[in-house]
Structure 1
Amino acid sequence: MANYTAADIKALREKTGAGMLDVKKALDEANGDQQKAMDIIRVKGLKGVTKREGRATAEGIVAARVENGVGYMVEVNSETDFVAKSEPFIAFANNVLEAAISANASTLEELKAATADGKTVEELTTEAGALLGEKVVVRRVARVEGENVAVYLHKTSKDLPAQVGVLLAVTGENTDEVAHDVAVHIAAMSPKYLNSDAIAAEDIEAEKRVAEETARGEGKPEQIIPKIVEGKLKAFYKENTLLDQDFAKDSSKSVEKVLSENGATATAFERFRVGA
């Protein structure tokens, strides 16, 4: 007869994020001892790290915080949403965020080399994968500095941790409310750039070429093609740049106008969505 209960299985699953069958096997082997079972799961997990290397990691969490006027954000991925919402995985992601803050990391390389609890983030990632029994990946990090930095985290499902995160830097006094509203807008509308100046010149030229070729292919008169290209470029900016987008809460105004009316100027932003 098994020396453990259904409650023991549930508790160990919550602690490790491991699957039902793996938990039951570990408890059987450990004769019901929770700590021994956790060790068994971890050892077996380490042995399986290489086998998991090619697996997809489309689930996960975005964690972010503002510390001393600087915003930090990380994305950490798992294979399944079951692991993504487990306590060990969420704790690991928060440890990664703490490491990013401590190391002032702005690149993935800096983050992986950062330390927490005497180990590098890269080492901790391997250990997390062993414990959870899935491939775990620290995908990216962002650092945003400015006069005022707002952070917004959004859950796409109430059962999962935050899947979308935004850091937004603005200047101006008493800007907390408008900064929050614009951060929510960024989460929903997915702008790629702050403004047209942030777009590489070659990307703008590519958009112009496509617009010209499309207009000629449609047989448009040569004399009106420049105006067509100008209109297409304006539409491109409106779709992809934050300041040119229609504000989500009031589409009669651009984001830039809303910020200006509130005495604020956006200087930088970062947006993460798990898996995107």
Structure 2
Amino acid sequence: MPIENIPQIYLDDNKEIPDLFVYDFKMTNDVVKSKVNLGMNMFSFLQVGKKQVHFAGTSVAVNKNQSLLLKKGNWLWTELLETEAIYYCKLFFFSEKRLCSFLEKHNLHQDEVAYENPYFIIRNDSYITSYLNSLSTIGNAPAVFMQNLLSVKFEELLLYLIQKYGRKFELYLHSLVILESSAFKKTVESKIHSNLKLEEIAFLCNMSLSTFKRNFIAEYNVSPGKWFQNKRLQRAKELLEGGNLKASDVYLEIGYNNLSNFSIAFKNKFGFSPSETS
């Protein structure tokens, strides 16, 4: 399945991506688990239909009563029609540069751990409805005024959502500008006990496999294959030492697809078989 680069596919060829960009997305057929490289953070205001997004380690599903703020990255998403013949959502993309300017302008500093989810659910209300109507109205404005108008609308939306959701939303905004190395480590370490392949983890980190391996070695000073194996085997040893589990109970949980391969790797690392662990 090809990867869709968003918002690039919504722009004219060779056109520079603006800091703020609104796009009306419509479709007439269901789309299931399409691979998406989301290159900018994005509000997804669902108007008609259902949407589900799969992230690294979690997923979220919303209907037309909810909207989403999504962090940029590689995601899988599903968009479904309901009773209507057309699926419709309004997408509002914004750059990290524009978000940082907003946080600095309003003196919103991070003094605690940032919100960790790659999404934030917004419950639609009368304000959101009128806000979307206003976005549609300014969509007809001359291009020379568009960025200034969108700047005002972007600031208005963030101020409203901070008023509505408080510190929780502020923390989420800070998480959108978190250092890339920290985001990389968070994704990697959340996959220690999964059975995802390196290529799949690389995709969720928004990297090619070769770039992922290079960044991994720079971050951890060891190859990813060796690092994951050591972490998973150490976890298996801890589980087996509890005395209530056997190798057949844990090998899938720690990321091995084959019991025999797990037993061999375990003995090579610790010098004794899983059955000899007490």
TM-score, normalised with respect to structure 1: 0.28
Query: Greater relative contact order: 1 or 2 (C-alpha under 8 angstroms, separation 6 or more)?
Result: 1
Q: Whose helix fraction is larger, Structure 1's or Structure 2's?
A: 1
TM-score, normalised with respect to structure 2: 0.27
